[in-house]
Amino acid sequence: MTIRAEIEDQFRQVAVEYDRRLAPLTDNLELLNSGLDSLCFAVVVVRLERALGIDPFSASEDAAFPVTFGQFVSLYEHAAK
């Protein structure tokens, strides 16, 4: 499974579990408009760390939280290299 596919899967699973209406996951989707709240994002990040073995937010002190879904995916793809 690719990093993008794993991220999409986690977004969908968390949306279902927390009864959120998830917007279509496009690169330009602003995360604030995704349908997930801050708790959901925290759950996604923890699950991605377990699934992928990386946490780009703790790996770099200057890592800013991405604004769009595409930036979120890119952050993980870059951290995996």
Any idea where the domains of the chain sit in the sequence?
3-80
Among 61, 62, 67, 53, which Cα is nearest to 76's?
53
In the prediction, which pLDDT does 60 show?
A: 65
Q: How far apart are CA 29 and CA 61, in angstroms?
A: 25
CA-based R_g, the chain, Å: 12
In the prediction, which pLDDT does 81 show?
A: 85
Q: What is the distance, to the nearest Å, from the Cα of residue 54 to the centroid of all Cα atoms in its chain?
A: 12
Total-model pTM: 0.91
In the prediction, which pLDDT does 52 show?
A: 95
In the prediction, which pLDDT does 1 show?
A: 83
pLDDT tens figures, 26-80? 999 999 999 999 999 999 999 999 999 998 988 666 667 899 999 999 999 998 8
In the prediction, which pLDDT does 59 show?
A: 66
User: Could you confirm whether domain 3-80 is CATH 1.10.3470?
Assistant: no
Q: How far apart are CA 75 and CA 42, in angstroms?
A: 15
